Amino acid sequence: MSSATSEAMPRIAPLTPPYPPEIQAQFDRIMRGAPPLVLFRVMAGHARAWDKFRAGGLLDPGPLSLRDREIVIDRTCALNRCEYEWGVHVAIFAGPAKLTEEEVRATVLGNATSACWSPGEQALIAAADALHTRATLSDEEFAALAAHYDEAQVLEIMLLCGFYRTVSYLANGLRLPLEETAARFPA
C-alpha cells in the first residue's frame, strides 16, 4: 500500500492558485468545478508533459461502458499499487459505474475468478493481469476478451491498461499525496 498521506508533498511541486487563465479553463473542463487534483496541478506546470498527458486521456465516452472502463482502470491501478489514482477513480466513478463494495474490494484483493464478476468482467480482469505481468495476452486470454468485446473495445482495454500504468508511474514516482476525498485501499 502507498505510504503517501494527505500531508506529504510530491517530488515535483504542483501549481498553486491563481492558475494561468488557459490552465484554469482546462482544469474547469476536466474537473467540472471541483478543485484540480494534485496530479493535474503537477503535470500542468510542465507544458509538454501536460499536453501529452491530456492528449492520452481516455475518460471521454469511448467504446466501453463506464462500468467496464472503471473495472479496467481500478484493476490496473491496484496491480501497480497506485492507491492515489485507484482512490480517485473509486471515489468519483464507482457509484455511477454501479460497482459494489465487494467488486471495488476485488479490484485490489481479488482475481479474475472472483465470484462477483460476470464472465465478461472476468475476461477484463484476466486481461489487465496478463498485460501487467507479461505485457501481452495469450491466445486464450485474447479469445476470452473477443468473446465479450468487439475489436474497438479490445483496443480500448489495452489502451486503458497502458495509460493507467503510466498514470500509476507518475503518481507513485512523484509520491503524490492521497487526495482527501479519495477512497483508500481495503485492508
Q: Which three cell numbers stand for residue 42?
A: 503537477
Boundaries of CATH 1.20.1290.10 in the chain?
66-173
What's the fold here for domain 66-173?
AhpD-like (1.20.1290)
Q: For residue range 93-144, what is the model confidence (pLDDT) as tens digits?
A: 999 999 999 999 999 999 999 999 999 999 999 999 999 999 999 999 999 9
Q: Contact at 8 Å (CB) between 63 and 156? A: yes
Q: For residue range 139-184, what is the model confidence (pLDDT) as tens digits?
A: 999 999 999 999 999 999 999 999 999 999 999 999 999 999 999 9
Q: For residue range 72-99, what is the model confidence (pLDDT) as tens digits?
A: 999 999 999 999 999 999 999 999 999 9
Beta carbons within 8 Å of 141's beta carbon, 6+ residues apart: 123, 126, 127, 130
Closest alpha carbon to 4 in 171, 183, 187: 171
CA distance 13 to 185: 25
Closest alpha carbon to 103 in 89, 115, 91: 115
* % of the chain with per-residue pLDDT over 90: 89
